[in-house]
Structure 1
Amino acid sequence: MATMKRGYVLHHRPFRESSVIVNLLIEGVGRVDAITRVGTGKRSIKSILQPFQPLIVQFSAQSEAKSLGLKNITQIESAAPAMPLTGNSLYSGFYLNELLVRLLSVEHQAEGLFIEYHRALMSLAKGFCSSHLRYFEMALLLELGAFPSLNYDTLGNALDPDCYYRFIPQSGFLPVVQSRESNLLHGKGCLTGAMLLALASQNLQIDQLNQAKGLMRYLLTPLLGNKPLLSRQLFAKNAQ
Structure 2
Amino acid sequence: MKRGYVLHHRPFRESSVIVNLLIEGIGRVDAITRVGSGKRSIKSILQPFQPLIIQFSLQSEIKNLGLKTITHIESAAPAIPLAGNSLYSGFYLNELLVRLLSVDHQAEGLFLAYHRALMSLAKGFCSSHLRYFEMALLLELGAFPSLNYDATGNALAADCHYRFIAESGFLPVALSNESHFSHGKGYLSGAMLLALASQSLQADQLNQAKGLMRYLLTPLLGSKPLLSRQLFAKNAQ
* 1:91-139 alpha-carbon deviations (Å, 9 max, x no partner): 0000000000000000001000000000000000000000000000000
Cα distance in 2 for partners of 1:187, 1:204 equals 16
Cα distance in 2 for partners of 1:150, 1:43 equals 50
- Aligned twin of 1:134: 131
Q: How many residues align?
A: 234
- Among 144, 149, 163, the alignment partner of 1:147 is 144
Cα distance in 2 for partners of 1:183, 1:154 equals 17
* 1:7-66 alpha-carbon deviations (Å, 9 max, x no partner): 000000000111000000000010000000000000000000000000000000011222
Cα distance in 1 for partners of 2:120, 2:62 equals 35
Cα distance in 1 for partners of 2:185, 2:9 equals 41
Cα distance in 2 for partners of 1:63, 1:207 equals 54
State percent identity of aligned pairs.
88
Cα distance in 2 for partners of 1:24, 1:164 equals 40
What code does the residue aligned with 1:62 have?
Q
- Aligned twin of 1:79: 76
- Aligned twin of 1:208: 205
Q: Is the 8 A contact 1:24 1:33 kept in 2?
A: yes
Cα distance in 1 for partners of 2:172, 2:71 equals 54
Cα distance in 1 for partners of 2:5, 2:129 equals 18
- Aligned twin of 1:196: 193
- Aligned twin of 2:114: 117
- Aligned twin of 1:96: 93
* 1:72 alignment partner, SS class: strand
- Among 60, 68, 72, the alignment partner of 1:63 is 60
Query: Does residue 1:107 correspond to 2:104, yes or no?
Result: yes
- Aligned twin of 1:159: 156
- Among 49, 53, 60, the alignment partner of 1:52 is 49
Q: Is the 8 A contact 2:184 2:207 kept in 1?
A: no
Question: What TM-score, normalized to structure 1?
Answer: 0.95
Cα distance in 1 for partners of 2:164, 2:56 equals 43
What's the offset of the Cα at 1:177? 1.9
Cα distance in 1 for partners of 2:232, 2:213 equals 17
- Aligned twin of 2:235: 238
* 1:131-183 alpha-carbon deviations (Å, 9 max, x no partner): 000000000000000000000001100001000000000100000023xxx48
Q: Is the 8 A contact 1:34 1:65 kept in 2?
A: no
* 1:180-221 alpha-carbon deviations (Å, 9 max, x no partner): xx4859944200000000000000000000000000000000
Q: Is the 8 A contact 2:17 2:34 kept in 1?
A: yes
Task: Within 5 Å, give how 1:32-51 maps onto structure 2.
Answer: 32-51=29-48
* 4+ aligned runs moved over 2 Å, structure 1: 182-189
* 1:162 alignment partner, SS class: coil
Query: Does residue 1:8 correspond to 2:11, yes or no?
Result: no
Q: Structure 1: which 5+ residue stretches go unaligned? A: none
